[in-house]
């Protein structure tokens, strides 16, 4: 309002702008609006003041107001205002229009200007100051409590260890200032736990943890901010204690059982590798199956070496230099033999007295410059030793010296030095069985050891070697020189030593001869993971797996299998080893795994039962039939059946069918007919050998040859063996046909009227044998004639042929005699003579049967209760009485036969190998 002017007065001009500080720092408490500035807000004006008594005027030096502008960030002017507290002094105040929140905005910046009151009563021409910057900081108030990031914390740790940190808990505070937003400390509020927590929330154990004592630990923790506010809600911590992680294989089974005939079975179905979180980039595992103690290094065909050659397709014509001892092959009789699980014959040589000198007739069959020498050997010596020496035809010598094998060969016997072929082989001195095949096609020599080819070192100048002796000698185990055996004798084991003249054996045949029928294998190569490799050695005794990823490696290990293709596998223990090597990114902390050891047990296979039947214990025929050109067939109705007997769990079968059984398991035997191939049958006369001048056994040689069978026919026995060209269902029937055709023939007028034969068969090179059939043969006509005229001779003959030492078992069967009935009508004049003679005959017969009855009772007492072993099958027996030619029929009561399995006794008990 203009001031009325009662006098002439004038106002000073507004020449100066108000002045304020250029910058202010302000503080305001959260939830408050008054800003405390530093320095305080004052505005000054330099215009001269006017003094009027009791008059109030708007004068230029007074500060009428402050204006707030946006700051550099474009904010602040709307939230703050400035007011004038004293116009004359220019004091002002800055305040917020509403309470401030530090959590949303900690600092504010804006500018402020001061305005004076202008000129004259209307305040025109007012001046404004420069803009001053105001920085306002909002001070925090501890209005929030800590909050945990997670309501539940879990961790797993191995036992028996102390850790620097197991798990870290974390809480946050919503306050904006460091004082109230920071968590000053944490606390475990659950008492008596073996854990502690630091101010940063790290939890560790105060003592080693035991998973057996307490598997899971659960406790609660809380947090405090620096304003001592406690967390709104506590957090739960759960620590699981794991058993100590021991790096290695988990799921190893030390004993593994294998049932013959099972094919392939996995060795490690549950095995896996535990690396305990170690970073592994290469894994290699080696599985070793030790079969060196099984036969000749592993489970091979149970047939003889000769039979295996036939199965492998080897060319016929080999000569066995170490055959089984027999009358025809007596040069191996003095050599000691050792038992072998693969049914082969193993000969032992001591380096001095054990020597086999092959007859010249055999040695001459293997002469020539082209031949194949094959043998199995096992040796561990270091001295120079001679294996085989031929000084007669091919002029060669095979020797060993330490771990070197050498062949001396004389292309010309008059040469002063031979050609020497030398091989350095660990196999000839490691005390393990190895198969050697030496093919000589001079000047080329090829050596196969366990089916692998080795090249020789050829030496022509090897010093003074004595020329072969002029005597024709083929010696096994030493060398013949100067009419004596040399001192360089072989010390070790040999088996299957054969020589075949002519072209050398193909490599495929040699590999087949050595091939194992058991070994390690891999289930399915298509399932191998990426980066996995598998390798199996030729003998299938070592399998190597390599990979770079643990899970793929574990799947591969579980597919390692053992297989055995033999139906009658050799039972016993096969040691098993697993060696593992790891490569890690950190070589210093890389794991070292111990070797795992176990064993595979091949169970006893179900033994095949070879049953011979259809042959009666007695065979009675007239003498004329025995003396005929064809003789009498001994086994016309022979039947051969092979079966397997195995245990069957009938309780399990009953439960499957819903039946009820007692708690005890019921086990029964079950027999299945199977296809077999016999490797030999033998017919042997019991008692004394056949008299070649009076009796013989006839065999159709052409039929044998057509069927691929061999025969050894001596006075002591007949042995029929097979070549094994074909293994099929016809094999047994072939033996049946041949055995049924064997006939017994007597010479004209032969006094012999009784003979006993024994028949037996075997398979797997004599490993399994049949029951034994014993057959008693007699000619009826000659028998009764002798009773009539020579009763004392008959009794003597009965004592001779019913000797108590010949005990036999009897098998069911019967033989129908072929009676010859002659009807004669006597004349009237001879009636009285007939009656007298008939009475005499009756008395003689009664006396004979009385004596035989007493003899049978005494023989039964001596024979250990084997009754009926000497009873005759005399049904429908004809007795012709001379000179009246009246026929009398005598039928003793002998109708029952017992079936038994015969055990070999005495000198006849040794089985022959075919």
Q: What is the DSSP string of 590-643?
A: ---PPPEEEEEEEPPPPPEEEEEES--SEEEE-HHHHTSSS-EES-TT-EEEEE
Band of residue 271 on the pLDDT scale cut at 50, 70, 90: very high
Q: Say which range, 282-286, 760-764, 825-829, has the weakest mean pLDDT.
A: 825-829
pLDDT of residue 910: 46
For 537, residues 6+ apart whose C-beta sits below 8 A from its C-beta are 543
pLDDT at 492 over 80: yes
Distances (CA, A) of 462 to 157, 357, 382, 416, 417: 73, 27, 20, 11, 7
Burial degree of 686 (CB within 10 A; 0-12, 13-18, 19+): middle
Q: What are phi and psi of 477, to 5 degrees?
A: 95, 0
Contact 639, 612 (CB under 8 A): yes
* Residues in a beta bridge with 34: 95
Q: Are strands 618-621 and 773-779 parallel, antiparallel or unpaired?
A: parallel
Provide mean pLDDT across the span 646-661.
39
Which helix or strand (DSSP H or E) is residue 782 part of? helix 780-789
Cα dihedral sign, 152-156-162-163: negative
Q: Are strands 346-350 and 337-338 parallel, antiparallel or unpaired?
A: antiparallel
pLDDT at 862 over 50: no
3-state DSSP assignment of residue 413 = coil
Summarize pLDDT for 759-795 with one digit per residue, the tens: 999 887 677 889 999 999 887 754 433 333 333 333 3
Band of residue 272 on the pLDDT scale cut at 50, 70, 90: very high
pLDDT of residue 416: 54
pTM exceeds 0.85 for this model: no
Name the token pair of 548.
Answer: 């770079």
More confident residue, 29 or 221: 221
Q: Say which range, 38-52, 102-116, 633-647, has the weakest mean pLDDT.
A: 38-52
Summarize pLDDT for 670-719 with one digit per residue, the tens: 344 444 677 789 999 998 898 888 889 999 888 888 887 888 888 888 98
Architecture of domain 305-514: Sandwich (2.60)
Q: Are strands 235-242 and 152-158 parallel, antiparallel or unpaired?
A: parallel
* Topology (CATH) of 248-290+517-602: Immunoglobulin-like (2.60.40)
Contact 39, 85 (CB under 8 A): no
Summarize pLDDT for 896-911 with one digit per residue, the tens: 333 233 333 333 444 4
Band of residue 647 on the pLDDT scale cut at 50, 70, 90: very low
Instruction: In the chain, count H helices and then E strands.
Output: 12, 59
3-state DSSP assignment of residue 837 = helix
Name the token pair of 888.
Answer: 């009398």
Q: Are strands 743-746 and 91-96 parallel, antiparallel or unpaired?
A: unpaired
* Topology (CATH) of 19-139: Immunoglobulin-like (2.60.40)
* 147-242 has CATH 3.20.10.10 classification: no
* Topology (CATH) of 608-645+676-780: Immunoglobulin-like (2.60.40)
Q: Say which range, 58-62, 197-201, 316-320, has the weakest mean pLDDT.
A: 58-62
The closest alpha carbon to 598, from 578, 618, 620, belongs to: 578
Same topology for domains 147-242 and 608-645+676-780, yes or no? yes
More confident residue, 818 or 700: 700
Q: Where are the domains of the chain?
A: 19-139, 147-242, 248-290+517-602, 305-514, 608-645+676-780
């Amino acid at each position: 309002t203009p001031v009325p002017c009662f006098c002439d007065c004038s106002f000073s001009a507004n020449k100066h702008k108000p002045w304020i500080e250029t910058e202010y720092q302000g503080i305001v408490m959260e939830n408050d609006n008054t800003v405390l500035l530093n320095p305080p807000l004052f505005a000054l004006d330099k215009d001269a003041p006017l003094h009027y008594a009791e008059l109030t005027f708007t004068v230029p030096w007074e500060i009428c107001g402050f204006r707030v502008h946006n700051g550099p960030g474009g904010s602040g002017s709307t939230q703050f205002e400035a007011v004038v507290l004293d116009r004359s002094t220019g004091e002002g105040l800055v305040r917020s229009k509403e309470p401030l929140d530090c959590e949303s905005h900690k600092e504010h910046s804006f500018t402020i200007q001061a305005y004076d009151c202008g000129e004259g009563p209307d305040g025109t021409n007012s001046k404004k100051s420069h803009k001053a910057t105001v920085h306002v900081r909002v001070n925090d108030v501890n209005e929030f409590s800590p909050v945990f990031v997670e309501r539940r914390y879990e961790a797993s740790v191995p036992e028996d260890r102390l850790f620097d940190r197991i798990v870290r808990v974390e809480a946050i505070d919503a306050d904006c200032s460091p004082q109230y937003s920071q968590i000053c400390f944490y606390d475990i509020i659950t008492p008596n736990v073996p854990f502690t927590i630091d101010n940063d929330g790290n939890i560790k154990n105060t003592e080693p943890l035991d998973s057996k004592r307490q598997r899971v630990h659960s406790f609660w923790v809380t947090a405090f901010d620096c304003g001592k506010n406690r967390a709104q809600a506590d957090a739960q911590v759960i620590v699981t204690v794991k058993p100590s992680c021991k790096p290695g294989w988990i799921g190893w089974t030390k004993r593994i059982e294998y049932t013959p005939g099972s094919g392939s079975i996995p060795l490690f179905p549950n095995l896996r590798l535990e690396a305990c979180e170690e970073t592994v980039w290469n894994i290699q595992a080696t599985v070793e199956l030790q079969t060196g103690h099984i036969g000749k290094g592993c489970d091979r065909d149970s047939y003889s070496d000769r039979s295996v050659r036939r199965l492998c397709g080897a060319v016929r014509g080999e000569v066995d230099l170490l055959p089984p001892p027999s009358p025809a092959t007596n040069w191996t009789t003095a050599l000691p033999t050792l038992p072998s699980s693969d049914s082969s014959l193993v000969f032992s040589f001591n380096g001095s007295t054990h020597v086999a000198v092959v007859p010249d007739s055999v040695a001459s069959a293997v002469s020539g410059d082209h031949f194949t020498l094959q043998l199995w050997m096992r040796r561990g010596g270091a001295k120079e030793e001679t294996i085989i020496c031929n000084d007669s035809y091919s002029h060669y010598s095979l020797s060993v010296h330490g771990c070197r094998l050498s062949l001396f060969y004389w292309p010309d016997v008059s040469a002063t030095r031979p050609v020497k072929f030398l091989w350095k082989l660990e196999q000839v001195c490691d005390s393990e069985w190895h198969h050697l095949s030496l093919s000589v096609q001079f000047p080329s020599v090829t050596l196969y050891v366990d089916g692998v080819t080795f090249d020789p070192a050829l030496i022509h100048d090897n010093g003074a070697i004595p020329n072969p002796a002029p005597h024709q000698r083929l010696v096994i185990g030493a060398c013949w020189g100067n009419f004596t055996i040399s001192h360089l004798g072989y010390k070790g084991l040999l088996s299957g030593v054969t020589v075949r003249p002519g072209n050398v054996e193909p490599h495929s045949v040699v590999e087949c001869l050595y091939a194992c029928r058991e070994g390690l294998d891999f289930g399915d190569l298509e399932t191998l993971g990426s980066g996995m490799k598998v390798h199996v050695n030729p003998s299938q005794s070592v399998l190597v797996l390599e990979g770079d990823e643990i899970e793929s490696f574990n799947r591969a290990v579980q597919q390692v299998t053992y297989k055995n293709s033999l139906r009658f596998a050799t039972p016993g223990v096969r040691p098993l080893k697993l060696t593992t090597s790891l490569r890690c990114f950190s070589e210093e902390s890389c794991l070292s795994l111990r070797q795992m050891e176990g064993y595979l047990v091949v169970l006893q296979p179900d033994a095949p039962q070879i049953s011979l039947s259809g042959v009666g214990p007695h065979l009675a025929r007239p003498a004329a039939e025995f003396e005929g050109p064809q003789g009498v067939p001994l086994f016309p109705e022979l039947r051969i059946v092979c079966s397997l007997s195995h245990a069957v769990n009938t309780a399990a079968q009953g439960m499957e069918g819903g039946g009820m059984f007692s708690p005890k398991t019921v086990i029964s035997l079950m027999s299945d007919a199977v296809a077999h191939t016999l490797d030999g049958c033998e017919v042997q006369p019991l008692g004394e050998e056949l008299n070649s001048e009076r009796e013989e056994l006839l065999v159709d040689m052409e039929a044998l040859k057509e069927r691929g069978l061999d025969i050894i026919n001596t006075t002591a026995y007949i042995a029929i063996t097979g070549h094994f060209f074909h293994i099929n269902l016809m094999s047994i029937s072939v033996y049946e046909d041949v055995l049924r055709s064997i006939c017994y023939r007597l010479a004209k007028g032969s006094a012999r009227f009784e003979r006993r034969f024994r028949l037996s068969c075997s398979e797997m090179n004599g490993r399994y044998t049949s029951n034994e059939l014993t057959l008693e043969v007699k000619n009826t006509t000659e028998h009764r004639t002798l009773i009539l005229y020579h009763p004392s001779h008959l009794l003597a003959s009965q004592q001779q042929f019913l000797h108590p030492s010949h005990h036999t078992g009897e098998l069911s069967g019967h033989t129908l005699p072929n009676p010859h009935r002659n009807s004669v009508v006597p004349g009237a004049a001879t009636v009285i003579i007939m009656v007298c003679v008939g009475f005499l005959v009756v008395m003689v017969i009664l006396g004979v049967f009385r004596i035989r009855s007493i003899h049978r009772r005494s023989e039964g007492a001596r024979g250990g209760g084997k009754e009926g072993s000497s009873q005759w099958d005399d049904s429908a027996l004809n007795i012709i009485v001379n000179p009246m030619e009246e026929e009398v029929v005598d039928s003793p009561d002998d109708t029952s036969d017992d079936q038994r399995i015969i055990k070999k006794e005495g000198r006849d008990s040794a089985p022959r190998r075919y």
